[in-house]
Structure 1
Amino acid sequence: MRLRALLDTDALGLRLLGGEDELDRTVRGVMTTDLRDPSRYLSGGELVLTGLAWRRDAADAEPFVRILATAGVAALAAGEAELGAIPDDIVEACARHRLPLFAVNESVAFATVTEHVVRQVSGERAGDLAAVVDRHRRLMTSGPAGGGPDVVLDLLGTDLDLRAWVLSPAGRAIAGSSAAGPELPAAVCARLAAEHLAATRTGRRGPHRVTIEGGGAKRLDEGRRPGDGPGGTTYSLFPIRSAGRGATPASRDVRETVLSDWLLAVEADASDWPEERLDLLQGVTQLIAVERDRRDAARTVRRRLAQEVLELVQTGAAPAEIAARLRVAAPVLLPGLGAAPHWQVIVAKVEWDGGDIEGGPVAQSLLEEILVDPLSAGPEPSDRIAVAHNGDEAIALVPLPAVPDEHDGQETGLHADALLDSVRDPLTAGLADDGRLTLGVSAAVHSAEGLRGALEEARHARRVAAARTGRVCAAGHQELASHVLLLPFVPDDVRRAFTARLLDPLRDYDRKHRAELIPTLEAFLDCDGSWTRCASRLHLHVNTLRYRVGRIEQLTNRDLSRLEDKLDFFLALRMS
């Protein structure tokens, strides 16, 4: 706002004592001080309010006014409550330094002046920012991306002093303004996402307000005000709905989008914001939604590759044809990879009680988010994720860098429980009491021949997860013991995949080192684990036998002193 506007406001009761030629100066803020040297708190453009308590005699006026002028303040407003008329030495000092001077009537509180200036400045900044946001939107919709969500959030930080972040429904921080300071802790992100999803599922109108305290999050939507109770940080949560889904949110079932929409978290209580500012934030969410759709479009190639491989695997195509398609996919999913990767299959399914909601697209979008490292920042760390959907299930084809054959029994790839650890709370809130997510993870396979078995293994693991209680459940290949695989409903491909995973490390070792780990294992089991009898049968020293058995356990991550592991090896050898 301009200084001239202050004089036009009768409620402020300001009188101009000097600086008529400087009334077109811009006021960018307001500060109240009675310090003799307030320079450390000045950044320029302020209207400085003072009660003159710093003035002991006429000599104090010159240094005080010089400090204000050097700092670039817009004007000085002195109160008449303490000394009555403003002393001439202050008027003269302001005239020398060309600093506009106002007298504040004793009947007008400094708080009244401050509130008026802040409200006007904030409103004008919001108007300027709205114009910038509109220009940015036109750039993004008509040409190359204009910098992504971070640029828009930076505008909120610099122009409105709002700290803001874009979060995924699983609680991953996608973007944040440079003015937002330190990144939000992962636990806070997850809690904000959970509260947003819970509020969305109950149909409450946004923005949703939440305060984060030491003990967790508390909703403010139900009458609680930020000042009630212990201190905390208040956030207002705005949904970011995809701009490319066509129908308005009111015409769709919220369950179709609740697990895929981003959200904007602003560190402020929006309950008392004017409509203009709320409209501005709505425009910001629409702008970020355009960028979200752009990023989704970039996943099209990876989704198509996954769909093509999946169709080949399910139709029983020749391994050579599948391998050729994988060679095409590898450079896209793992650019610059020197060796052919291993592959892992993950199957996810989202089911809702009642309603006719297609679960495949929901599970696809959700699985793409789950497979991103929850601690990674930025909107596109998922360039190695290819997810297709088939009916009600989503299927991810995850490439893994090739590892040495002798990996000492260490598990490679993704683990079912680890995938859901950081996202369980937000997703549970989004699923509410009528939705369910189940997920199955296969072991890593080394070639196209193993993909069909990996797919069936992941599906069977998902069925194991579905048999458990809870809204979000997962199971991995480690939970498919061989004695379970003998059940008649288990597909043959799952049995073969399990057998290969258990025995292939030993076969590979025997082939490369001309060792005899497989025959040693068979003899050890036939001798009921007797070291003396087995060593005698193989014509080995007992220490040599112990070395071989130790190597078997190391390569397979099993313990031959355990009955369950002995049974697994026995059945695997019989099925091979």
Structure 2
Amino acid sequence: MFSIDSLLRDASLELRVLVPGPEGALEEPIAWVHGTELPDPSRYLRPRELVLTNGLWLGRITAAGFVANVKRARGAGIVFGRRPEAPATPPELVAACRDADLPLLEISPEVPFTAISEAVTARYARERQTALIGMVRRGDALATAISRGAGASGVLRVLRRDLELPLAVVDRMGRPLAAAGAELTAEQLQQVAAALARRPPPLETDLGAAGRAALFLVGAVGDVDAALVCLRPAGDLTRAEQDALEQAARFLSLEVAKQQAVQAIEQRFAGELLEMVLSGGSRAAEVPGRLRAFGVNTDDPLAVWALAFADGEATLPGLAEVVGEFFAAEGVPAVVAGGSRDVVAVLSWRRPEGESAPLAERLAAGVAGRFAGRRPVVGLGGVAMDPTGLREPLVRAREVCQTLRRGGSGPAVRSFAELGTYRLLLGAQDADTLRSLADGVLAPIREHDARRGSELEATLRAFLDHDGQWAATAAALHVHVNTLRNRLAKVTELTGRDVTRTADRVDLFLALEAAAML
């Protein structure tokens, strides 16, 4: 922006300072010049405009009144143009400006006000041209950085050529994607993530010891996925700095969209890998090649783990990425596939079997740190010696994971071998056998529940979960004990199995567990 001082340096304007105003006022940017002879121009004067006047208002208002009106409108100062009727700047105007601490300049009678207007226009045009050239140049550099795969770090390097600002790029999961001149703590990263989770996200957030930070939102596919964080309050940034940061945020949106597309492709291929493992048959022959494409050595033993949250049915966006980052940091080659209920990882496992549980516990702790308030659980399905044997550990890992989810506050990590013997037996069965067992026993109950809106299956599970204790089960279901007896009598009638007999109770229990595994 141009200033009064820049106009003073133009000798052709023949300007002279009569009152300099407060310290630094002559170097402050001015918005424009405003010629007026109105006694009160405040209604038409914008903040930081420089007033040009010949004093024709003298006689209709005092100099002090005119200066007060200019001051009230936050004018940048006054330029008085001498004329034959007023060959010198009125002393009362000089005194009024001095009292109001408002800059006052005097221009030679030989120089018209239009010369100042032309000078300001020329300076403004040059500044705009310089700014536009800078935007174009920076845009070319940003496009080059993105196209060459420099990522978010490359974008920040381009910005730092022009701006000495502390910058970082943080995604909605609180992960630092890049930084330049700024180091955010784990707590500050989570504060940024919390801000991005709000709807709508704020354009500024408090980062504690780092102070207030401006957020320039980075979106892809219509949502806010990250932010370009500047560790300065938005009000402290110049218009040029804001323009540059907004421009960079738009280019970061391209980078985020590209990353999301790559992740989506990887997730789709990883999901297909699990389908190949489960389906067997001809598609199983594709499994080794798919594993190698993810960097997993098929000559190594392969472990399968399943992770989910204990407090809900659905996984959260970004969970698969967090799990993948964990294994990458541990140096464990892995394929990670995210589903609606769990995340499955197939690992190249060269370590002793005893290291599985400690590593899984670190994984659970790391995920818990990234998803506040959620309790992750990890099921260890065992190890296959080659890709053809992956189906069994995959089924086991998911079964353990689902068991841990239903276990409330129990352990966060378990292996299949640590589950009950009945689970080992069920886990060895194929899906058709499990379905036959479940349907053969539970079909009449489910048909009755669907037709009558009853809760026989839920009642049966609660009774077995409470070890056949009538009073405890009734209390858990908030029903009378007689109601519970009537419901279980109906179960006996429909299935031909009496819950008071051990053998029949085992049949009912195994049918429910088989249904849960399916």
TM-score scaled by structure 2?
Answer: 0.50
1 or 2, which has the higher helix percentage? 2
Which structure would you say has the larger RCO, counting Cα contacts within 8 Å and 6 or more residues apart?
Answer: 1
TM-score scaled by structure 1?
Answer: 0.46
Report which of the two structures shows the higher radius of gyration computed on alpha carbons. Answer: 2
